Amino acid sequence: MQVCYKHAEKPNAKSCPFCSKDYCEDCLLLVGKRKTVICKDCYTFLSNKIKKSNIRRYIYLLLGVIWLVLILVNFSNYFLLESPNATIFILLGVGILYSITVNIIRLIQYRSWNVIESYTKTIKLEVQD
């Protein structure tokens, strides 16, 4: 019988998919809408990493919106003059819109990461039903 990585006196319930170590019910969490099983150490590490990436994504969004506004202002001037540079501005605008969309989707996905449940409570509820 395998035991918990942190508590040698308790049997393991599952292993963490991120660190592959065996943990008891007290050491595990259910995270997100899909209720992914993860150990508390990995959750702490990954949530800190996500917080740092969220700050970076907000900065990318702000810069993308500013850049898109500048391109649209300049694009209207080039479009009226029928300049060959209009194609470059269209491609830049599409690329920036794609980047903005990806960053918004990632920020929405990371919000579900804050939905946390205790693994033990869920197991006890399933047994009672």
> pLDDT of 71-129, one tens digit each?
777 766 666 666 666 677 777 778 888 888 888 888 887 877 777 777 776 555 554 44
Q: How confident is the model at residue 65, as a pLDDT?
A: 85
Please check whether residue 11 is in contact with residue 1, taking contact to mean a CB–CB distance below 8 angstroms.
Answer: yes
- Domain coordinates of the chain in residue numbers? 14-113
The pair of structure tokens assigned to 22 is: 């065996």
Tell me the per-residue pLDDT of 70-83, one tens digit each, with 9 for 90 and over: 777 776 666 666 66
> What proportion of the chain, given as a percentage, has pLDDT over 70?
81
Residue 22 and residue 4 in contact, taking contact as beta carbons nearer than 8 Å: yes
**To the nearest 10°, the Cα dihedral for 121, 51, 99, 59?**
150
Query: Has residue 13 got a pLDDT over 50?
Result: yes
Among residues 8, 103, 105, which one has the least CA distance to residue 58?
103
Strand 14-15 with 22-23, pairing:
antiparallel
Residues 44-55 have a mean pLDDT of: 84
